[in-house]
Structure 1
Amino acid sequence: MSTTGPLTDDGLVQLLTPGGQRVEHPDYSYRVAHLDAEALRGLYRDMVIVRRFDTEATALQRQGELGLWAQSLGQEAAQIGSGRALLPQDYVFPSYREHGVAHTRGLDLADLLRLFRGIDHGGWDTAAHNFHLYTLVIGSHTLHATGYAMGVQRDGDVGTGDPTRDTAVVTYFGDGATSQGDVSEALVFASVNNAPVVFFCQNNQWAISEPTTRQSRVPIADRAPGFGIPSVRVDGNDVLACHAVTAEALERARSGGGPTFIEAFTYRMGAHTTSDDPTRYRSAAEEDYWSQRDPIDRLRLHLEAIGELPAAFTAELDAEAALLGERLRTTVRGWEAPEPGSMFEHVYASPNAVVEAERAWFEAYEGSFLPAGGAR
């Protein structure tokens, strides 16, 4: 690991070492002090379930059941730790890899696959979970999140002191997105408007095949203070540290303290998507280094060390994961292709003249073909 530049581990907030030992931090340990053994097992369960989901989705794509899949392998701690810090009224703007955060917001993980199956615009009710649809355009959703946060602010749902009302917004994106202009613009708007938004950058060190070292000469979190936004770098494979720093940032946002930039320093253990071959641009030694820092193994080692990972729990979890895998396979293979005209539905919340004109043209075009068999 480099001691300087964007890949340095200097200054990372860490509460759980790769070997599973708890370490104290003067500013953040108290924020996870309430997490007892049952809560820690809950975090472990979340990460195991999300990884099984990711594994099954990858297999389904390889079998031709999904058009594409974006893996979250290795990033479970960053997502589960931060996601479990959210309150029900908080709102999330994800990119396309936040499967763990979706899980913490109560989504049926199967619904995430509808987009990648190509049968739905998204697959879930965003209002029911305060979890926006996945965004495939890199970085654009950071502007959406900032705008939403400014709306929350103008609605008076910030800094009231009512824990059931005060609201924060969080947007997730990768290190590659920070090279996009949209992210820069979002940081400007968030800063000057003191918007209640948390920018959560999962720095997995690779923007497809482009390394972080080709995107920045300093840690990515160092960019935020230039916009007047406080930032923190956290060990993204430490679920406890990710929970702690996110809880602090969300508390600041809800109380009216404005935006925060979090850089969760982690590693994309899988491919960028199933159309990518990471062996063409990174070494086996690098992958081995990070496999030894697996976020799930880290918490497992800690639970084993304190005697809080009973065999009955792991057996039950294994069974739950197996049932999830079976349900995903059955569900996805049972989906049928939608009617082509359904692409015009739910584009806007209210009727739109342009969409309706395009729908009419498409229906006429479809109707111009001879039916099966060639006779009218």
Structure 2
Amino acid sequence: MTARTENLNVVGFDHMPSPAEIKARVPMTPRAAESVLAGRRALMEILDRKDPRLFVIVGPCSIHDPVAGLDYARRLRKLADELQETVQVVMRVYFEKPRTSTGWKGFINDPRMDDSFHIEEGMERGRRFLLDVAELGLPAATEALDPIAPQYYGDLVSWTAIGARTAESQTHREMASGLSTPVGFKNSTDGSQEAAVNGILSASRPHSFLGLSDTGASAIIRTRGNGYGHLVLRGGGGRPNYDTVSISLAEQALTKAKLPVNIVVDCSHANSWKKPELQPLVMRDVMHQLREGNHSVVGVMIESFLEAGNQPIPADLSQLRYGCSVTDACVDWATTEEMLRNTHALLRDVVPSRRKS
């Protein structure tokens, strides 16, 4: 009888390997584990104000080409060593893309970029890419969109974002409460901070919800709550929100909710009107706020790749430009180096005072 009432719009159920199977194919290594844990420790110490440095989440809007992505990671690893006195660098490794209507959903959903949706292949290749980044000694950041996906690769992630479209979702708040990483909640696309602040508060509490175990079985997941939630300002509602007034309002909202006053500024998205050439200006403005004594801003985000701008996905994938984003437009590598080195220079005499205070 249920055949008449369920799965009426479902055309098939394809086999998906369990998290344990994918992990067996791409196992964690001692070096990668230490890299992940070191990244998490550094971020937690920054959020706890035990480390006065700034953390920077920097990398492509999305990963579509693991070869170009690893090329970028190797360059970033060298730069991270140079800047470690003032900056904790974390590579942005985003595999899932929320779509306003339609479009490419990201490397895990469609790794071949042809609407074939070999999710089992995308999950394994995505995990392998994260492992390669961790093997370089570089911590990784990603956005948690699918509530099942963290079971497959969450052990290789050091920082997680809950996006502007999902910060109000109960499912994502519950998921965040069980993640092993610090979690940044982005303000809503209309610019409101309320959903993100409530999300941080909700994720800090224990939850019980339906999920997936490592073996692929349905399970009741029970969490203790995540004490490292924080606010990410990405602009919205037709205006940026990285200015001193907006940050002061964010500080007040977090204080009112009795949450740690930890704020990350996303230099991209509405804060730069999705114009990558404006990201350096946003970054410099935030650095000057730090020089003027701001203590609530603990991190920034930058969308950056090897080449500037972005490109549509062509029918003939051989026509793709190497190292150029297929989602949001990015700054190029030369600009990334300049932004981070300028930040290092501006913070060099600020970090000691932040340590004392």
TM-score, structure 2 normalization:
0.32
Compare the two structures and name the one with the higher strand fraction: 2
TM-score, structure 1 normalization:
0.31
Compare the two structures and name the one with the higher helix fraction: 1
Please tell me whether Structure 1 or Structure 2 has the larger radius of gyration of its CA atoms.
1
| Greater RCO structure (CA 8 Å; 6+ sep) | 1
